[in-house]
Amino acid sequence: MVPVPSTALQATVDFLAYRGADFATAPDDMPLLALIADTVRPMSYPALHKSFKRFLKRALVRTDLPSDVRRDAESAAAHWLRHTHATRAVERGVGADVLQANLGHADPRTTAAYFKTQLDRRAAEMERVYGESSPSGRAR
């Protein structure tokens, strides 16, 4: 089980209601992503991947992204959402133990890869501590 914020829980309640299910009485094994024709049968990972790629292709057509950025985005996969979740969680201060448990990593070294401090954050921290806006009002 992975804890989710109240906004995600409400979105899930609303989504299940849209599908004709009641969150409070839905079976524990009810899939969140199900087949359209059979809402109790889970969507397979290949089907999710195919749907994600189709959605992404349609979305990218409507953007004015530079061609190199668009090309990179076209190579995205649904699994990238997991990596994005982990990266953003780290950026927002989620602890390594919590992230490891949420991602289901048996080895903490797998999770540790997300904690490599990003250069822009390192630079911002050094500016905060030693830059012109330091507590003394001048660079040290």
pTM, entire model: 0.69
Decide if 139 contacts 132 (C-beta within 8 A): yes
pLDDT truncated to tens, each residue of the chain (140 aa)?
Answer: 788 999 999 999 999 999 889 999 999 888 989 888 888 889 999 999 999 999 999 999 889 999 899 989 999 998 899 999 999 999 898 999 999 999 999 999 999 888 876 777 788 889 999 987 666 555 44
Length of the chain: 140
**CA nearest 114: which of 127, 103, 123?**
103
- Residues 48-66 have pLDDT tens digits of 999 999 999 999 988 999 9
- Distances 30 to 11, 27, 41, 48 between C-alpha atoms, Å: 16, 5, 8, 16
Where along the chain do its domains lie?
78-140
